[in-house]
Chain A
Amino acid sequence: MEPTKNKRSANFNNWAFIVSSLFLLSLAIFSLVWFQKQKEAEDWIAHTYEVKLKIEKCFGLLLEAESNQRGFLLSNDSTYFKNINHAETLLNRSLKQLDSLVEDNEIQIKNVNTLRSLIFFRLSRLHILIDSSAKANNFTDSHLTSPDKVLMDSIHHQVIIMQAEENKLLGQRTFFKNIGNDRVITFIVLFSVISFMILIWSFFKIKNESSMRLQAQMELIRQNEKLERKNRDLTTFSNIASHDLKEPLRKIQMFTNLIMELNPDYLKNKSFEYFQKISQQSSRMQTLIESVLKYAQTDEGDFGFQNTNLNEIANLATDSLSEIIKEKKAVVNVRELPAIFCSPTQMEQLFINLVENGIKYARPGMTPIIEISATLSEETLKIDFRDNGIGFDEAYEKKIFEVFQRLHSSDEYSGTGIGLAICKKIVENHHGTITAQSILGEGSVFSVIFPVEKTAAKRQK
């Protein structure tokens, strides 16, 4: 995964998180403000009802004063007079309360003032009538005079005007409250859904990113393993340098010294043998250096993977080995093999090494028979190289694939101890594994197993 892509995706997640947080925060603030407003609207509605009640109360008190006046005029009972005074006091108080209740509303202030002057005018006329009746000391007509009736009507009219004004306000406020409700609920739901969607989106982004990170981590682990393997190889190489490659050189020195140290008589008899040894060791040194180089080059650079017919590879390998096959009279049977996606040069080397191995470690006096066959399953392709050679103790199964590990001295069987190590490296380059089963004295089977997914193995038509 590229680092820039990684960074961009992290930025995306940060933004998604910030945006959804801001959405939720504004939603919270909005809801708070809205509930406040809602409460205020309710207060205003209650206020309107209170104003309406007060107006009615004022008018009611005036009517009460008027009826008491009528009673007083009829009976001259002072109780009525007291009642009038009481109603007047209450009326004054109510008007004052009304003043403070409507102080926010210009129209109603004017209306209250008009109402007040009308009421006061009516009250003053009421008092004049009572006074004159007391002076006259007789009962006058209790019916309202026509100017008073007109006055009362205009007061009533004023009350209706004021009620209408309050009703208008009430309508507005209720309407605002109801309309507001619907819109705000839609708004809150919409915002919640959007925030929720952003959160879900960022959740999946983060999940996706963490899986990508996991993949990157796995890749890192794989690279580390590869590095460790390289390191191990390097250590093996330093061992090789200090032992195996030094060995032939040491022998060359040893026999040269021997020739020089021995007395001339001995020299005559032995010198041919020692020179022979020197020559052998020199060529062995050359072989070793060549195979070490081959091993080192096995996992270098581009392998040139392509679709390859393994039967053709097997033919190429037997062609390369034709000399030793002829010499040992070996038989190589190749069964039907599939075509796979691999490096043809490396695959050929693998076939050469395994077939050569089978021929080289033949039982004395027996025709070496090597059989190559393939088994294709759902997940793996297994190629078996079966021989009828000397076999080996299975306890050394792991060891034989290591560099310079040999189970026999070079006097018994020639070899550098690198062939199978190269096979292992080639198989690993193809994401596969190599194993060996053997019965001592009966033969061995070297099995190469490739994952079908990586090699796209197909049954040959």
Chain B
Amino acid sequence: MKQINRVLVIDDDKDDQQFLHKAIHDLFPNMECISLNNGKEALKFIEENPPPPSYIFLDLNMPYLNGFEFLKEFKKEKGNSETSVYIYSTSSNPRDKEKAKSLGADDYIVKFTDLTSLKARLKNVIQT
């Protein structure tokens, strides 16, 4: 399935959503950026709005369906294989990083506290 220029930000923290949103919008004004509050909401959105997005930024600690649970469900769908999933979490715990990798995450980004560093990192992972 052909992908579209869409980024999903799945995070229960509104501040983080906005922060990431701003960074992406500054770097790639043409990219459609959609924020969702948890894994459950995200799965529903993806199902209802095909085709799957190009990129997903995924927080780990969320209510209802956390990052790992979402990732497991998301990867079950064959059509989603082209989507790059980046974990975007405050946790720098190596166990979380290992688990994310084993569940098929493309990379693991520890949340930044300044726009400059976040933008530098985003330039490496998003290609247009």
Extra A-B contacts (11), CB below 8 Å, given A254-B15, A258-B115, A411-B14: A243-B91, A246-B90, A247-B13, A250-B113, A254-B112, A255-B15, A257-B113, A257-B115, A261-B114, A261-B115, A261-B116
Q: Is B83 an interface residue (CB 8 A)?
A: no
Bound state CA distance, A333 and B91, in angstroms? 43
The contact sample of 19 A-B pairs, CB cut-off 8 A, is A242-B91, A243-B90, A247-B13, A253-B113, A253-B114, A254-B15, A254-B114, A255-B15, A257-B113, A257-B115, A258-B19, A258-B114, A258-B115, A261-B114, A407-B63, A408-B63, A409-B12, A409-B13, A409-B14
Which residue on chain B has the smallest CB distance to residue A246? B90
User: In the complex, what's the smallest C-beta–C-beta distance from A138 to chain B, in angstroms?
Assistant: 145
Q: Would you call B63 and A257 a contact (CB within 8 A)?
A: no
Q: Is A458 an interface residue (CB 8 A)?
A: no
Q: Is A406 an interface residue (CB 8 A)?
A: yes
The 4 closest A-B pairs by CB, nearest first: A253-B113, A257-B114, A254-B113, A409-B12
Q: Is A54 an interface residue (CB 8 A)?
A: no
Contact with B along A233-264 (1 / 0, CB 8 A): 00000000011001100110111011001000
Secondary structure type dominating chain B contacts: loop
Which residue on chain B has the smallest CB distance to residue A254? B113
Q: Is B92 an interface residue (CB 8 A)?
A: yes
Q: Which residues of B contact A250 (CB under 8 A)?
A: 90, 111, 113
Bound state CA distance, A332 and B99, in angstroms? 46
Bound state CA distance, A258 and B93, in angstroms? 26
Q: Which residues of A contact B19 (CB under 8 A)?
A: 254, 258
Q: Is B61 an interface residue (CB 8 A)?
A: yes
Q: Is B80 an interface residue (CB 8 A)?
A: no
Q: Is A277 an interface residue (CB 8 A)?
A: yes
Secondary structure type dominating chain A contacts: helix
Contact with A along B4-45 (1 / 0, CB 8 A): 000000001111000100000000000000000100000000
In which size bucket is the chain B interface?
10 to 19
Chain A interface residue count, Cβ-Cβ cutoff 8 angstroms: 18
Bound state CA distance, A373 and B63, in angstroms? 31
| The one of B37, B92, B112 that contacts A409, using a Cβ cutoff of 8 Å | B37
8 A Cβ contacts from B68-111 to A: 90-93, 111
Bound state CA distance, A258 and B18, in angstroms? 12
Chain B residues at the A interface, C-beta cutoff of 8 Å: 12-15, 19, 37, 61, 63-64, 90-93, 111-116
Which residue on chain B has the smallest CB distance to residue A407? B63
User: In the complex, what's the smallest C-beta–C-beta distance from A421 to chain B, in angstroms?
Assistant: 16
Bound state CA distance, A408 and B64, in angstroms? 9
Of A242, A243, A407, A411, most buried by chain B (CB within 10 Å of CB) is: A243
Q: Which residues of A contact B116 (CB under 8 A)?
A: 261
Q: Which residues of B contact A253 (CB under 8 A)?
A: 113-114
Contact with B along A405-424 (1 / 0, CB 8 A): 01111010000000000000
Q: Which residues of B contact A243 (CB under 8 A)?
A: 61, 90-91
| The one of B15, B37, B93 that contacts A277, using a Cβ cutoff of 8 Å | B15
Of B14, B15, B19, B61, most buried by chain A (CB within 10 Å of CB) is: B15
Q: Which residues of B contact A261 (CB under 8 A)?
A: 114-116
Q: Which residues of A contact B15 (CB under 8 A)?
A: 251, 254-255, 277
Bound state CA distance, A323 and B93, in angstroms? 41
Bound state CA distance, A86 and B114, in angstroms? 146
Bound state CA distance, A199 and B112, in angstroms? 77
Contact with B along A288-328 (1 / 0, CB 8 A): 00000000000000000000000000000000000000000
Bound state CA distance, A104 and B12, in angstroms? 116
User: In the complex, what's the smallest C-beta–C-beta distance from A333 to chain B, in angstroms?
Assistant: 31
Bound state CA distance, A277 and B16, in angstroms? 12
Q: Which residues of A contact B111 (CB under 8 A)?
A: 250
Q: Which residues of A contact B115 (CB under 8 A)?
A: 257-258, 261
Q: Which residues of A contact B90 (CB under 8 A)?
A: 242-243, 246-247, 250
User: In the complex, what's the smallest C-beta–C-beta distance from A398 to chain B, in angstroms?
Assistant: 14
Which residue on chain A has the smallest CB distance to residue B89? A243
Q: Would you call A242 and B63 a contact (CB within 8 A)?
A: no
Q: Which residues of A contact B64 (CB under 8 A)?
A: 407
Q: Which residues of A contact B91 (CB under 8 A)?
A: 242-243
Q: Which residues of A contact B114 (CB under 8 A)?
A: 253-254, 257-258, 261
Which residue on chain B has the smallest CB distance to residue A280? B15
Bound state CA distance, A257 and B114, in angstroms? 5
Q: Would you call A242 and B113 a contact (CB within 8 A)?
A: no
Bound state CA distance, A294 and B61, in angstroms? 23
Bound state CA distance, A242 and B89, in angstroms? 11
